[in-house]
Every structure is written in structure tokens, then in C-alpha cells.
Amino acid sequence: MTWLGIDLGDARVGLALSDPELTFAHPIGNIQAYGDSFRALDDVIYVIEDEQVDHVVIGLPLLLNGDEGKSAKKARRWAANLVKRIERMSDEGEIRLNATPSVELMDERLTTVSAHRQLSDANITGRRHRPVVDQQSAVVILQSALDRKEHREK
């Protein structure tokens, strides 16, 4: 099994993968979004195909009070588009998957703060954060989902 974590952004979409045992998340890079995360959909789908991803965890940027703002609604639309696009591309033979991955949205409040802190702890200076913070945020999102899954199974 392999899970994919996604941190949506207008500049970059950060990606993280799990290990096959669903224990650890690690960064696999960013996809340039050029001002609109929807531009990254096909590239994300090709990662899903290449890695034969079983489950996708997308960060849901809720407001601090827990309400859904504009960004959270956009993330929901992005997730729905991802599912539709995977089904269409699979039906048309553009991609080959063992199974269509399940998709979940996960509260990502404060993940960027956590990602910046982790990068600082790793002695990556502030100026060098920008190119890697999105993928590190994806790691935080995915690791939270993996930890939650493990906790439920105990």
C-alpha cells in the first residue's frame, strides 16, 4: 500500500509519499502550479499512477475557528476534480491503475507553521524554506493521517 499526501498551493503543490507499511511519510517534491493548483491535477495523477497510490490525503485549510473559508472550498473542488479526472483518464486508458485510490480531506490548520519549525530544526535557513515548505507541509498532513490510522487500529 502507498498513500500520497498533498498540500495545495497556488505557486506549488507539495507532495509526500508513505512507505509501503504506512508508517512514515517522506517528501517527494513539488509540482509548479503557476498561480492555480488546478493546473497541477494531471501531474498529480501521473504520480498516483507511477506510484500506484491506494489513498490520497489532501490538506483542508480550515480557518482557525474551524469554519471553511474560500481556500477550504477550493480544496474540496480540487479533490472532487481529482476523483473525476482519475476516473475519466482511467476509463479512456490514459492511465493504468490497480484500483482507483480513495481520497480524503484532512484538517491542515497550522501545518505550514509545523513544517517551518521542522525545517528550522533541520538547520534549513528561512530563505531556503520556500522551495521545500510545501512538500514538508504535505509530509505533516500525510504523517498525521498515518498516525491517526495506526491509532485507530490499536
Q: How confident is residue 136, by pLDDT bands cut at 50, 70 and 90?
A: confident
* 63 SS3 class: coil
pLDDT over threshold 70, residue 113? no
Phi, psi of 6 (to 5 degrees): -130, 130
The model scores a pTM over 0.85: yes
Fold of 3-153: Nucleotidyltransferase; domain 5 (3.30.420)
- Confidence (pLDDT) at 10: 87
Mean pLDDT for the stretch of residues 92-104: 94
Q: What is the pLDDT of residues 7-22, one digit of tens each?
A: 998 889 999 999 999 9
51 versus 124: the higher-pLDDT residue is 51
Domain chopping of the chain, boundaries: 3-153
d(CA 82, CA 84): 6
